Amino acid sequence: MDQSTLETPAQTPLAEVRGRIAKAAALAGRSADDVTLIAISKTHGADAILPLLEQGQRHFGENRVQEAQAKWPDLRARYPDVTLHLVGQLQSNKAAEAVGLFDVIHSLDRPSLVAALGKAMAAAGRQVPCFVQVNIGEEPQKGGCAIADVPALLAAAQEAGIPVIGLMCVPPADVEAVPYFALLAKMARDVGLEGLSMGMSGDYETAVMLGATHVRVGSALFGARG
């Protein structure tokens, strides 16, 4: 059998995930173009990232500022149209570095970080779009703003000049994600935000059907963490 028959673009993990997103969007009466697929490349090196770049993937997510600093400058020199998302918790003392490196921040979750990011963006002259991370399952071990505190945090972000484009959540593990995604979507509607960063490898199709605008997919694209 010809090698090209064995390996076609339709058989790649990226193509499969994109196809599943398109199908879920269609079932919900949405366009797949309204959903941004973020490939979560944390813990993976350039050798794992390059195949996705070569297949046209341009949105990538990292958990840590230091890890992103180590590998993305070289990759972005080759692919300057990449959009880099910070999806992990951000320490306030790393705010300036994050503003300089990332194009979107998904983990704005507390007043001290609002202050740090506001100062960093003003100093850099760079407005980085942010999602407010909501502790949607009220889990004490997880980061994220308490549900009741979201309006106050949004007001603080606006005052600090931070562009907030939506809400983000990570539902509790090993339970049905639907009610948590639905709650986040309602919260976003109530405060007039369109962006919904929700859904990972195990539940991104459900998230798309419930309105996700950004899905954060790692293992379905890269396999087990490196």
Residue ranges per domain, the chain? Answer: 31-222
Mean pLDDT of 102-129: 98
Q: Residues of the chain with pLDDT > 70: what percent? A: 94
Q: Quick one: CATH architecture of 31-222?
A: Alpha-Beta Barrel (3.20)
Does 8 have pLDDT greater than 90?
Answer: no
Q: Which tens digit of pLDDT belongs to each residue from 17-29?
A: 999 999 999 999 9
pLDDT of residue 9: 47
Do 79 and 58 meet the contact criterion of CB atoms below 8 Å apart?
A: yes
pLDDT of residue 225: 57
User: Chain-wide mean pLDDT for the chain?
Assistant: 94
Largest CA distance in the chain: 63
Mean pLDDT of 179-185: 98
Do 191 and 155 meet the contact criterion of CB atoms below 8 Å apart?
A: no
Q: Which tens digit of pLDDT belongs to each residue from 52-74?
A: 999 999 999 999 999 999 999 99
pTM of the predicted model over 0.85: yes
Which residue would you say has higher pLDDT here, 214 or 142?
A: 214
Interior CA angle at 71 toward 70 and 74, to 5°?
115
pLDDT of residue 11: 80
Does 159 have pLDDT greater than 60?
Answer: yes
The tokens describing 174, both together, are 């090993």
Q: Residues of the chain with pLDDT > 90: what percent? A: 91
Does 3 have pLDDT greater than 60?
Answer: no
The dihedrals phi and psi of 169, each to the nearest 5 degrees, come to -150, 160
pLDDT of residue 2: 47
Mean pLDDT of 4-25: 81
